[in-house]
């Protein structure tokens, strides 16, 4: 077993879940930095519910909860 394998094997369970949650948070959270003009590009209007950044963050919440609590 390589040193990397040994290190990964030694990590406690909370680290696995923290890694998964970090991926979910970073993977969906970065969209808050996407410019408004890109988010609303081609949209019929600029109503709040059409803000896709909001969609991404809201959709991520149940996934984060699942990966934090389902151990």
- Binding site residues, other proteins, CB under 8 A: 1-2, 5, 8-9, 11, 13, 16-17, 19-20, 23-24, 26-28, 31, 34-35, 37-44, 50, 52, 55-56, 59-60, 62-63, 66-67, 70-71
Which is closer to other proteins, CB of 1 or CB of 48?
1
Q: What is the largest CA-CA distance in the chain?
A: 57
CB of 49 to other proteins, least distance (A): 11
Return phi, psi of residue 17, to 5°.
Answer: -70, -35
Distance CA 53, CA 65 (A): 19
């Amino acid at each position: 077993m390589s040193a990397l394998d040994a290190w990964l094997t030694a990590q406690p369970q909370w680290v696995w879940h923290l890694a998964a949650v970090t991926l979910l948070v970073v993977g969906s959270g970065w969209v808050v930095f996407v410019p408004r003009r890109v988010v609303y590009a081609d949209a019929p209007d600029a109503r709040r519910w059409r803000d896709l950044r909001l969609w991404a963050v809201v959709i991520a919440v149940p996934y984060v909860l699942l990966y934090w609590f389902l151990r």
